[in-house]
Structure 1
Amino acid sequence: MPRTALRICPLCEATCGLTLTIEGATVTGARGDREDVFSRGFICPKGAAFGGLDSDPDRLRTPLVRREGRLQEATWEEAFEVIAAAVPALVQEYGPQSAGVVLGNPNVHTMAGQLYPSLLLKALGTRNLFTASTLDQMPKHVSSGLLFGDPSAIPVPDLDRTDFLLLLGANPVESNGSLCTAPDFPGRLKALRARGGTLVVVDPRRTRTAKLADRHLAPRPGSDALLLAALARTLLAGKATVPGALAEHVQGIGELREALDSFTPEAVAPACDLTAGEIRDLARDLAAAPTAAVYGRIGSCTVEYGTLASWLVDVLNILTGNLDRPGGALFPLSATDRAPRPAGPGKGFRLGRWHSRVSGHPEAKGELPMSALAEEIETPGEGRIRALLCIAANPVLSAPDGRRLDAALAGLDFMVSIDPYLNETSRHAHVVLPPPPPSQSAHFDFSFNTFAIRNQVRYSPPAIPLEEGRMDECEIHARLVLAVSGMHGADPAAVDDLAIRTALARESADPDSPLLGQDAAHLAGMLSGATGPERRLDLMLRLGPYGDRFGADPADGFGADPADGFGAAQADRFGAATAVSGSGATEPGAGTAEGAAESGLSLERLRAHPHGIDLGPLRPRLPGLLRTRSGRIELLPDPIAAELPRLRATLADRPAALVLVGRRHLRSNNSWLHNVPALTGGSNQCTLQVHPDDAVRLGLTDGRPARVTADGGSLEVPVEITDSVRAGVVSLPHGWGHDRAGTRLSVAGAAPGVNVNQLLDGTRLDPLSGTAVLNGFPVELTPIP
């Protein structure tokens, strides 16, 4: 008989609740969970195709070990023995910097990918960390670190309460949102307009999001920072000061006014290919709105001045008085965040604490540019990366110049991949460790809850028991930590136990903690959970801002600091009165936790609410979360001030005749969903979109191939003539190029497309964040007879 099970969707940042239909050990259907406290039944094509991904016959079922040059099936014990023999020996001979770690986007979609990489890095002792962040959102982390002292303090637009939303370089109708966790983003945008609000979209393409907008501006790609600087300068020229309660927490308004003085609308208009009037009108409307939020994403991050654009997004939110304000841009408070501490100066945020060996790129948030990975492997000398641990990553397709990286990976002494597929990157590994299908794994969104537009908490136990012969993903990671640290053969539970003991020891020694002086071993014995990862989750929930604190703080059930703006009653903390639907309206809070508020949050209490617990709307949190050295928002940090002259110099540049931008598709997520038949075909194809005027000028024919050439080489790709891109811009999607030998991706290989990042040689970077310039770079286009 078929049965149903609940599962949070792991296929994009919306984190929608699913109801799976299961027959035997197979997921045969997926629909939206109408009782989910966050998504309220919303589902997109990716979630509906959960079963197809889960049972993909190309997924690896057993480990692979390279023997005599070929990857062959092996037992789990054999695979870890090979790792334990190779990695520690290389590190001992060549030093810890001879090892590197690559973390791909799917890591933030799994519990294992969030709980273990930091332990792996500590075991290796290496600083060579490369992640998908430098191909995506690192500029936002850097700008937040410089402004607020914490690179993880990223404000999100209060979608359900704002009156005016300005989106730059974002297409959430198709991406489902990014650094803004919001199920049913399209419904929320429609609700904004239905209640009389205004939506403005800035994008060189007329995307599905732009089609919903009251106003669509299509500037020249890469000019986001100039446009935002002109908006801020217009507000400052009107003698704007930081209004409201935020004023006392901001420093540098005078210096900012002087630094932006030359970025007038008239000065930037030609570079943006907008009129000065359009820029002034937008600034006026933004300032006049009762509440407003400015939100920029990947199109404004993966450009040459991505950090400046990300910084200016929040500068505008600050100048209009909309930062940390309902209806503006607010900071979420996740259930596993560190509990709020008293306001005051912090350690601040620094860039460039170390640099890459070959080109001297500065680290950002402990990470080096993914674009530098190939040279760190190829270049001889002390510290050359000889062993690489690649976890849920496919940089051959996602990083610039995949051909060079492809060749570099082939020259490694040793490589380990944790990946369900033999893909363009994992085919180079000496050992491949395949995680089980998502239905057989527990799920909790550690990262995405910190970007959620409503505070909530949900947990999914495995929907299907672990299949015989497979290994739990968390156990794979724990055993990998043991193997590289010389402890192969130890109980993998020891890794989780060590993490728990370390966290509790730190907490019991913290003078700001209610657990100060308590016995860590006794507290560890109080944890619930059938597995090490569940016990670690229980620990984080109990120590978090809504947690029960092991009963140590009964007077203030969730220990929230009044300076953080959380002085409400416990029942309100759990949102017992209302919950927000996908359309933005309030409705009775089904699945909320009135009883849970009595003694705080724990895993046991969370498991009693399978559809999740609504923790209420976002609330102001300043100044409590500020960790700058001044204890205030530092409006013009030194690294930003030093970068502004370089941006100013671009006003004299002659723009390229033709530039390329990427694009998203609702049925795709980077390179890792192209092997699911239900998500391929239709409009989800790898074509080069060209404006009709450019097609006529260049002699291009719809459906025929053209050659695209840029810094890193050239590609041949079919042309799609459409007026959805502005003239002077072409668009090619990201994540394709499944045409290399040695992979096992039968569906993706049948329609491989081309790898857009092969057009780049890796030298174009945002200097502050090390993020690759994947959008707005010049190309040449010629027809192929």
Structure 2
Amino acid sequence: MGEQIHYRACNLCEAICGLEIRVRDGRIVSIRGDAHDPLSRGHICPKAVALQDLHEDPDRLRRPQKRIGERWVELGWDEALDEVAERLAAIRRAHGGNAIGVYMGNPSVHNWGIMTHSGAFLGPLKTRSRFSATSVDQLPHQLVSYWLYGHQLLLPVPDIDRSRHILMLGANPMASNGSLWTVPDFRNRLREMQARGGKLVLIDPRRTETAEVADEHHFIRPGADAALLLALLQVLFAENLVRPGRLADFSDGLDEVGRLVAPFTPERASAVTGIAAGEIRRLARELAAADAAAVYGRMGVSTQAHGTLCQWAIAMLNLVTGNLDREGGMMFPQPAMDLIQGPGSKPGHYAAWRSRVRGLPEFGGELPVAALAEEILAPGEGQIRALVTIAGNPVLSTPNGRQLERALGALDFMVAVDCYRNETTRFADFILPPTGALEHDHYDLIFHHFATRNSARYNAPLFAPPEGALHDWQIFVALGRRLRARLRPDAGQPLLRRLTARLKDELMLRLSPQRLLDQGLKRGPYGRRAAERLSLRALRAAPHGRDLGPLRAALPRRLCTANRRIAALNDALREELARYDTVLAEQQVRAPRAGELWLIGRRHVRSNNSWMHNAQRLVKGKPRHQLFMHPDDLAARGLHDGQRVRVRSRVGAIDVEVQASDAIMRGVVSLPHGWGHARPGVQQRIASRHPGASANDLTDERCLDALSGNAALNGVAVQVEAAPDDTSRHAAAVSSQSSSSPEFVA
């Protein structure tokens, strides 16, 4: 067999870079960037090369697994699917639909089979106990878009290819290549912006990789971003710099916004942010003067106690300066497969129900994942007794992971659709592994909605799946059929409704992702245009993808609100502004107490959450999971660089090596999340040899953004001290224990 060349998207992060993959004799011999890809332009990061490692990983599960005590056994698909469906149906019959919880992890949105067909499985369960990684990530961003623009996925992104000024908060695209902003090749795009006289200003408690290439960087105290953003708005209104332009024709409430932000002066903001009032005024004036500008904030401003207020203020800054829906400003991509205005669109809803224990609001049909453990542990009607996880590892990715471990151990039943026995799935009774990323085809349903340039690309599989293997969508269809036969979810409904529901269900079960994609493309914005005529057939004939052009103005046409207008305010936001005024007045946004530090996370280009640590080429070299700490904070505690320290929070403690760094603000420490692999029963040998410590053994499930319920993972109060003398011996023993999983019986 000669050498074959395949062109494909990397689906390991949001950048969706185009790849050229060469295969010889059934094995990958090289992975390079695709220079002809219209979006990524040949860019590639180290994660893409690890696609080969994930495909060949001997730890990747390929057949269903059943846990019997401490042993794992393989079994056939029919046997596994039958037993899973029977166990779930029995729990639903005995305790109701809400007794079955569902958690969908971050990789779910990177796999289009999960996106198109998970409902075939989850629909018959009829549970409101649904959770996902959204509420430890971007929930405030989506909630604000739902309130202002009418749809949770209608998220504007910086039009960096034409911008001249970007104010960025709590984001590190040099490591992530964008987040809710698909911007591969960020470094070269930034260079091009700077070459035409543009400027990047970054606000972050750490001098990140992006700060190193920015024109300005300002340290800010964690959790104080809302004060800064509101002060910028206050300056714009106070100095008559508000210029919404044509946006005023379909925006409501801007005058009231000006009145409500009037108390949030730069002087008040300076007291809590650490940024001088004069600098805040300069930043506001430069933003107003720029002829094409964008304000963008991500994880650092979403995963904090006032995340929704931060994202609202960012939206207002773009709106009142006229930079929303403007070339070079914040623009709305137009994907070929449109999930916003296409058939079956789900704009979202808020607080239609609340969690059983704390009364936290749902959004888009999901509850905040910070409530998952308590919903399992607290007895009573609606207690979660069974859990389904799909491509997720919440033990390492959600707050107070040790509490969630205890909860998982108390479940009556658990099933995981996952390729690995990881820190979470080791608790499952069944693990159902789908085919690997290179064994099925791919289309990016989600990330074209956030892309800095419009394009479309379909990828055929590189390799045939192993005999008897199932794609994830086939697993969902098979489970859905079995659950419907056992539960008869439409029983008791009128005959016509039952027939309609069954016809709809059967149609979904029969349609493959490819059929759905073809229909979506033909009905989408480019399928109807004579110049493009997009269809699945057309994309198959374009191995590098189709360039659909730069972002275009889309408002008010693309608004999904009932009146096609932007509602700048609602009662929830008014109340939050009043509450935050009180927070500042009572100095609740404060400097650390004596001996206290603020914990923040960080991202590395070789890592993506918890699922990229079993690839040797990504974890080799110098460890990257140390605690960053300013030298002055080390000296004040009698600590030194390279020492093992103990970090404590309200919920727990971890031992970790500390690294001195003047790139971190005084009073702040930084630990990357996704590590903490020293758990018994994990079958990921490389990750277990590089365990690190889990930042989510420190984050607090009680610390939330009050409006959305999103976890406040940044700005966690911690204490740092020298670790006990036996810490190193203890850590080595734990690591050794975790390297050997329970006995496996074929």
- TM-score by shorter chain over 0.5: yes
What is the Cα deviation at residue 82 of structure 1?
Answer: 1.0
- Give the Cα separation in 2 of the matches to 1:118 and 1:263: 45
| Residue identity opposite 1:181 in structure 2 | T
- Give the Cα separation in 2 of the matches to 1:30 and 1:678: 13
1:434: which partner in 2?
Answer: 433
Q: Partner of 2:264: helix, strand, or coil?
A: coil
Note closer, same or farther for the CA distance 1:350–1:420 as it changes in structure 2 (3 Å cut).
closer
1:515: which partner in 2?
Answer: none
Q: Partner of 1:363: helix, strand, or coil?
A: strand
- Give the Cα separation in 1 of the matches to 2:639 and 2:707: 38
Q: Does 1:270 align with 2:271?
A: yes
Q: Partner of 1:540: helix, strand, or coil?
A: helix
Any conservation in 2 of the 1:83–1:484 contact (CA below 8 Å)? no
What is the Cα deviation at residue 715 of structure 1?
Answer: 1.1
Match of 2:592 among 656, 666, 669: 656
Q: How does 1:581-730 map to 2 (within 5 A)?
A: 597=532, 600-651=533-584, 652-653=587-588, 654-657=590-593, 658-730=597-669
2:352: which partner in 1?
Answer: 353
Q: Does 1:58 align with 2:59?
A: yes
Note closer, same or farther for the CA distance 1:257–1:740 as it changes in structure 2 (3 Å cut).
same
- Give the Cα separation in 2 of the matches to 1:729 and 1:457: 42
- Give the Cα separation in 2 of the matches to 1:98 and 1:464: 39
Q: Partner of 2:353: helix, strand, or coil?
A: coil
Deviations 1:16-41 (A, max 9, x none): 11111223333232111112222121
- Which range is displaced more, 1-10 or 703-712? 1-10
| Residue identity opposite 2:82 in structure 1 | E
Any conservation in 2 of the 1:20–1:31 contact (CA below 8 Å)? yes
Q: How does 1:715-754 map to 2 (within 5 A)?
A: 715-754=654-693
2:401: which partner in 1?
Answer: 402
What is the Cα deviation at residue 472 of structure 1?
Answer: 2.1
Any conservation in 1 of the 2:592–2:598 contact (CA below 8 Å)? yes
Any conservation in 1 of the 2:641–2:658 contact (CA below 8 Å)? yes
Q: Partner of 1:106: helix, strand, or coil?
A: helix
Q: How does 1:356-367 map to 2 (within 5 A)?
A: 356-367=355-366
| Residue identity opposite 2:520 in structure 1 | M
1:254: which partner in 2?
Answer: 255
- Give the Cα separation in 1 of the matches to 2:177 and 2:347: 32
Question: % of aligned pairs identical?
Answer: 46
Any conservation in 2 of the 1:454–1:617 contact (CA below 8 Å)? yes
Deviations 1:734-753 (A, max 9, x none): 00000111110100101101
1:544: which partner in 2?
Answer: 524
Deviations 1:40-95 (A, max 9, x none): 21110001222112111110121101235532111111110111221111111111
What is the Cα deviation at residue 683 of structure 1?
Answer: 4.7
With normalisation by structure 1, the TM-score equals 0.87
Q: Partner of 1:778: helix, strand, or coil?
A: strand
Any conservation in 1 of the 2:700–2:716 contact (CA below 8 Å)? no
Q: How does 1:760-771 map to 2 (within 5 A)?
A: 760-771=699-710
Any conservation in 2 of the 1:84–1:486 contact (CA below 8 Å)? no
Deviations 1:318-371 (A, max 9, x none): 011000111100111111115859xxxx99865211001111111112210111
Any conservation in 2 of the 1:708–1:714 contact (CA below 8 Å)? yes
1:7: which partner in 2?
Answer: 8
1:27: which partner in 2?
Answer: 28
What is the Cα deviation at residue 451 of structure 1?
Answer: 0.5
2:731: which partner in 1?
Answer: none
2:515: which partner in 1?
Answer: 535
- Give the Cα separation in 2 of the matches to 1:65 and 1:251: 56
Q: How does 1:376-387 map to 2 (within 5 A)?
A: 376-387=375-386
- Give the Cα separation in 1 of the matches to 2:371 and 2:324: 35
Any conservation in 2 of the 1:220–1:271 contact (CA below 8 Å)? yes
What is the Cα deviation at residue 411 of structure 1?
Answer: 1.5
Deviations 1:594-628 (A, max 9, x none): xxx2xx21111111111111111111111122233
Q: Partner of 1:116: helix, strand, or coil?
A: helix
2:214: which partner in 1?
Answer: 213
Any conservation in 1 of the 2:348–2:363 contact (CA below 8 Å)? no
What is the Cα deviation at residue 637 of structure 1?
Answer: 1.9
| Residue identity opposite 2:606 in structure 1 | R
| Residue identity opposite 1:631 in structure 2 | R
Q: How does 1:404-419 map to 2 (within 5 A)?
A: 404-419=403-418
2:50: which partner in 1?
Answer: 49
1:511: which partner in 2?
Answer: none
What is the Cα deviation at residue 242 of structure 1?
Answer: 4.3
1:156: which partner in 2?
Answer: 157
What is the Cα deviation at residue 233 of structure 1?
Answer: 0.8
1:302: which partner in 2?
Answer: 303
- Give the Cα separation in 2 of the matches to 1:481 and 1:21: 37
1:783: which partner in 2?
Answer: 722
2:740: which partner in 1?
Answer: none
- Give the Cα separation in 1 of the matches to 2:642 and 2:469: 45
Q: Partner of 1:716: helix, strand, or coil?
A: strand
What is the Cα deviation at residue 244 of structure 1?
Answer: 1.8
Any conservation in 2 of the 1:227–1:272 contact (CA below 8 Å)? yes
| Residue identity opposite 1:664 in structure 2 | R
Note closer, same or farther for the CA distance 1:199–1:4 as it changes in structure 2 (3 Å cut).
same
- Which range is displaced more, 425-434 or 20-29? 20-29
Any conservation in 1 of the 2:157–2:451 contact (CA below 8 Å)? yes
2:460: which partner in 1?
Answer: 461
Note closer, same or farther for the CA distance 1:637–1:242 as it changes in structure 2 (3 Å cut).
farther
What is the Cα deviation at residue 189 of structure 1?
Answer: 1.3
Note closer, same or farther for the CA distance 1:340–1:91 as it changes in structure 2 (3 Å cut).
closer
Q: Partner of 1:678: helix, strand, or coil?
A: helix
- Give the Cα separation in 2 of the matches to 1:53 and 1:275: 48
Q: Does 1:194 align with 2:195?
A: yes
What is the Cα deviation at residue 502 of structure 1?
Answer: 8.5
Q: How does 1:411-560 map to 2 (within 5 A)?
A: 411-486=410-485, 532-547=512-527, 557-558=528-529
- Give the Cα separation in 2 of the matches to 1:347 and 1:666: 32
The number of residues matched between the two structures is 704
- Give the Cα separation in 2 of the matches to 1:426 and 1:21: 33
1:372: which partner in 2?
Answer: 371
- Give the Cα separation in 2 of the matches to 1:640 and 1:213: 32
Note closer, same or farther for the CA distance 1:103–1:505 as it changes in structure 2 (3 Å cut).
closer
Q: Does 1:175 align with 2:168?
A: no
Deviations 1:571-614 (A, max 9, x none): 3xxxxxxxxxxxxxxxxxxxxxxxxx2xx211111111111111
What is the Cα deviation at residue 110 of structure 1?
Answer: 0.6
Q: Does 1:759 align with 2:698?
A: yes
What is the Cα deviation at residue 4 of structure 1?
Answer: 2.0
Note closer, same or farther for the CA distance 1:9–1:693 as it changes in structure 2 (3 Å cut).
same
Deviations 1:660-696 (A, max 9, x none): 1100000000000000000003355210100111111
- Give the Cα separation in 1 of the matches to 2:109 and 2:3: 31
What is the Cα deviation at residue 175 of structure 1?
Answer: 1.2
- Give the Cα separation in 1 of the matches to 2:340 and 2:524: 5
- Give the Cα separation in 2 of the matches to 1:339 and 1:698: 52
RMSD (CA atoms): 2.3
- Which range is displaced more, 269-278 or 239-248? 239-248
| Residue identity opposite 1:645 in structure 2 | A
Note closer, same or farther for the CA distance 1:96–1:612 as it changes in structure 2 (3 Å cut).
same
Deviations 1:243-283 (A, max 9, x none): 32111011111211111111000111010011001100000
- Give the Cα separation in 1 of the matches to 2:237 and 2:606: 42
1:324: which partner in 2?
Answer: 325
1:491: which partner in 2?
Answer: none
Note closer, same or farther for the CA distance 1:175–1:348 as it changes in structure 2 (3 Å cut).
closer
- Give the Cα separation in 1 of the matches to 2:119 and 2:511: 19
